[in-house]
Structure 1
Amino acid sequence: MGRMEQRVSFVTLAVRDLAASRRFYVDGLGWRPEFEDPDEVVMFRAGPLLVLALWDRAHFEAEVGATAQSGPGVVPMTLSHNVAERATVDAVLSAARAAGATEVSEGTAREWGGYTGYFADPDGFRWEVAWNPGPIGQSVLPGGGDPV
């Protein structure tokens, strides 16, 4: 009553070219849309209680407001796709490149004990592909348990 539950329901990305983004995620990465309006939005089930929405930038701005166009750099956020095995990081990065992703970094062993690499989708949104052997990394894998 009167409080916000600790969870995220949608992650929405404002995209320049919805058709190109759809091709990347559907044809390139093999994702299946759960809902789509070809002129406005494509939505993917990304977890039991999570949807990734690709929203045409003009429609996004009409509802949310102008997006920042401050020059070079990346949007100050990443999306992460965690995997159960270290070798899977390289396989997913390779599949993303084959789908047309821009390589940001190859898989790299991290100080904290994991292994991660990055790619960028057609709009430059950074995706981290991560093997995180720690408890929180394992908790976000299918069957890993959801504390919320």
Structure 2
Amino acid sequence: MDQRLSFVTLAARDLAASRRFYLDGLGWRAALDVEGEVLMVKVADRVVLSLWDRDAFEAEVGPLADGPGLAPLTLAHNVATREEVDAVLATARGAGADPVHPGQERAWGGYTGYFADPDGYRWEIAWNPGPIGQEVLP
């Protein structure tokens, strides 16, 4: 098996709200948009973010766990500067992201903040000055 990731698929409770957030709010473009079913956005070379209607997602993959707290994952968007972290967080807030945790210096030497999409999935916006952080920048 090749060492790669092709799709990140998230279940959306309200696909229309996700569409408004990602396309209208953040300004992303859909690669595939089937109203009421799925929204796919190419987020990197050979990587797609797929937002599925939650019921259709559950019908295909099986029962989903619900409960208090956050989903045990984060999605990350790395940028080249500290200032870009704050700018992206401001854009997310303007798109309706809530909560938004402001950027802050991290013990490991970077600067990061977080926002939540309409389903509560957390996006980390990060400036990582180390080699692995530079490797993921375009």
TM-score normalised by structure 2 residue count = 0.98
Q: Distance in 2 between matches of 1:47 and 1:54?
A: 16
SS in structure 1 opposite 2:24? helix
**Structure 2 counterpart of 1:146:** none
Gaps in structure 2 of 5+ consecutive residues: none
**Structure 1 counterpart of 2:25:** 28
**Structure 2 counterpart of 1:127:** 123
Q: Which has the larger radius of gyration?
A: 1
Q: Does 1:75 align with 2:71?
A: yes
**Structure 1 counterpart of 2:4:** 7
- CA-based RMSD: 0.7
**Structure 2 counterpart of 1:38:** 35
TM-score normalised by structure 1 residue count = 0.92
Equivalent in 16, 21, 46 of residue 19 of structure 1: 16
Query: Which 4+ runs in 1 deviate beyond 2 A?
Result: none
The CA deviation at 1:89 is 0.3
SS in structure 2 opposite 1:62? helix
Equivalent in 111, 118, 125 of residue 115 of structure 1: 111
Equivalent in 33, 44, 47 of residue 44 of structure 2: 47
The CA deviation at 1:39 is 1.7
Task: Write out per-residue CA displacement over residues 93-124 of structure 1, whole angstroms, 9 at most, x where no aligned residue.
Answer: 01100000013411010011100000000000
* Percent of residue pairs identical: 67
Letter in 1 for 2:2: E
Count of aligned pairs between the two proteins = 138
Q: Distance in 2 between matches of 1:77 and 1:131?
A: 19
Gaps in structure 1 of 5+ consecutive residues: 143-148
Q: Does 1:90 align with 2:86?
A: yes
